[in-house]
Every structure is written in C-alpha cells, then in structure tokens.
Structure 1
Amino acid sequence: MVEQFPAPQLIAAILPCYTSEGDCSVILTTEGERITTGVRIRTIIRRLASDQAIDLSSLRKIITDATHQSNLQPIPITPRLVLLPVKTRKPRVAGDISTGYINIHAITSMNSINKNLSSGTLINLSGGAKVSTIWTITTVKRHMLLARLATAQAPTTTPKGFRRNAVFDADDDLSPIAHKLAEVIQELLRMTVS
C-alpha cells in the first residue's frame, strides 16, 4: 500500500531520523503534525514531483545551470513547496542520510546556536517545529538564496487540470463551460463506477 503524504503546501520539512526500528524519514507539517515513515527522503521527493508531473532529472539540470551547484540543490516542487537542503546530522555509519529538506515558505526565523565548539543553526518553522542543523547561519542563508534563484529559473508547474488527483476549484482560471464539462465528466465517471 502506498503511503499518503500531506498536500505539498502543508509540508514544512522532510528530515532523516533514527528510531528504534532504524533509519527513517519524518515529515513535519505547517499544522504541527509529525509523520514518521519508513520511506526514504529521495523516494518522498520523487513521489511529490511525480504527483505534480515534474521530471526531476530535467528540473535538476535547470537548477544546476541556474545555480552552478550540482550537489545539495534546492528543489522547487510547487510555488509553495520549495525544498531547501540542510545538513541535519552527522551520519552514524557510512550510507546514512544526513541531509534533510525544509520548505523555505515554512521558515519563520533562524538563530545561531553553539554546540560546544561547533556552531549550527536552529530553524523555527510554522507549526511550531524547530529543526537543528549543523550548518552555520551564513551557510543556511546562502542556500536560501540559491533556492530563491532556482525558484525563479524553474519552469512553472503543470496546470491543475493536468495533474494527477486534480480537483477543480472555484478559483481556477477555467471558463464556466470548462467547469460544467468537468462536472459532467465526473458525474459520468461516478455513474460507471456505481
């Protein structure tokens, strides 16, 4: 069974996490919810991109050309979900994921923190979560600038009508005739399923 993730605009962060069962991922939402999943971060990002009909390899190429950075790239999935990579931990063993992603639109504030002699940054998110990174505040701000640059260069997302699981909203730019046609098609589909 495929796990359901929150709507893209509700995602505040996707982070690696150690649990008693092993390495897993945690999704923090802007509503304060914490969802622990056994799905790897890369898989979550691939599924979020797939749901928006985005080719991640093409998007990464565009971002590389815009930012001149091929590692730890920002990933603009939707206009309201722009994933900023951050190093959140030092791996315990080789192969452990140490990078998480924070939605730049969910960041409410940042503070420098000192852990003994190493410095880091505490990022406060909407929904009340706090994410500690091992990067300095200067490094986090530089990556935020790269994320904004990537967002400006990324192609616009696929129109809602072409996305998987799309629902027509009253604020769509469709004409009334297109809305009526969509309603008729949905009604026909409901009748054939019943």
Structure 2
Amino acid sequence: MRCEYIDKLINACAFVPDYKDNIGKVTKIYLKTGGCFVTRYSMRKVIDDFCTINLTDINKLRKLSAELIGGKNLKPIYVRKGVVMIPIKTTKPLVDGDKCFAYVNLHCIDDLYMDESIIRLNNGEEICYVESANAVKLRLAEGTILQNKVTLKGV
C-alpha cells in the first residue's frame, strides 16, 4: 500500500462509492480534517485495508455484528472504540453487483437532514443518500446499540 493512501485511511471518517467520467468506479475517502481523497481502489479493498490498519478482520467484525444485533446483511461494523461504520446507500448501481453502499463512521456524523437526504459530517462535508430516511435512522440506531453492547460485553 502507498504511504499517502495509508495516511488517508488512518484519518478517514467515511468511504463512499462513486462513478467518475473517463475513470469509472472510484471510492471517495472523506477525511476527519475535511476534504476528500479519491482512489481507484474498490470499496471492498478500501474497507478491508481500513480494517487491516486497525488490526481487525472484516469477516469477524461482520459476524460479531450479526451475533450482537441480529440479521446478516447491511449491519453496522464495530471496528474499534470510536469507530462504528454505518452502511448507507449513496448511489444506484449502474450494473448488477456494483457496490452502492457507503460506510460512514457513526462518531463523525454531525446531523441528518431527512428532507434533503443529506448526512452532514462533523468536518463540514455532506454526503447524499438515496434510500429512505427511516432506513438510515434504523442503521444509526443499530450502530449505537452495537457500540453499547460491545462496550458492555468488553469485546
């Protein structure tokens, strides 16, 4: 991995899939300090690399989430204290199999504007979502529940 990419992952607060003209699928990495870094790496690789940097395994984290809050798909991921990644649909897939869910750190969300379908991060950046506000609120609540259960359980 490149050093610049690793630095961006360390300071990341959200990973958002996007499509760019003349490039194709990219991943936007929103930084805690503000700004956005665009990489051609897939969402899967970015999430895997983020977990690796935090000395965790994405598959074990997903299994832990399923055990603690039930269900299997699209559940928040507890990475470490202060980092609970919430899946949020931010784009419609162009073809089957495209990743269309962003992962946003629960602790980096400042506000949720349901009427405009916007999540405002505490660094001032905004992320638009394309699913119902109720689905987003449910995942935010699940993220809070997951964090509380992990804290109580001492995992």
Contact 1:63 1:153 in 2 (8 A): no
Q: Secondary structure at the match of 2:115?
A: strand
How many angstroms apart in 2 are the aligned matches of 1:103 and 1:62?
Answer: 17
SS at the partner of 1:150? Answer: helix
In the alignment, what sits opposite 1:144? 140
SS of 1:48's partner is helix
TM-score, with normalisation over the residues of structure 1?
Answer: 0.70
Q: What residue ranges of structure 2 are gaps of 5+ in the alignment?
A: none
CA distance, structure 2, for counterparts of residue 6 and residue 80 of structure 1: 17
- When residues 41 and 142 of structure 1 are mapped into structure 2, their CA distance, relative to the original with a 3 A threshold, is same
User: What is the rounded CA distance, in whole Å, between the counterparts of 1:24 and 1:106 in structure 2?
Assistant: 22
Deviations 1:112-163 (A, max 9, x none): 236xxxxxx2111122111111122222111011112222334768xxxxxx
Q: How far off is 1:58 after superposition?
A: 2.0
Question: Which ranges of 4 or more aligned residues in structure 1 deviate by more than 6 Å?
Answer: none
Q: Could you list the per-position Cα deviations for residues 67-98 of structure 1 after superposition, in whole angstroms to 9, with x for gaps in the alignment? A: 11211121121212211000001111222211
The structure with the largest alpha-carbon Rg is 1
Match of 1:26 among 28, 38, 41: 28
**AA partner of residue 71 (structure 2):** Q
> In 1, distance between residues paired with 2:61 and 2:19?
30
User: Are the equivalent residues in 2 in contact too, given 1:67–1:150 (CA < 8 A)?
Assistant: yes
The code of the aligned residue for 2:16 comes to L
Identity of aligned residues (%): 24
The one-letter code of the counterpart of 1:50 is T
Q: In structure 2, what residue type is equivalent to 1:14?
A: F
Q: Pick from 88, 108, 111: which aligns with 1:109?
A: 111
Q: So what's the TM-score if we normalise by structure 2?
A: 0.86
- 1:133 maps to which residue? 129
Q: Secondary structure at the match of 1:6?
A: helix
| Superposed CA RMSD | 1.9
**Residues matched between the structures, number:** 150
Aligned partner of residue 4 in structure 1, secondary structure: helix
**Structure 1 residues 11 and 156, CA, compared in 2 at 3 Å: closer, same or farther?**
farther
Structure 1, unpaired ranges of 5+: 115-120, 158-194
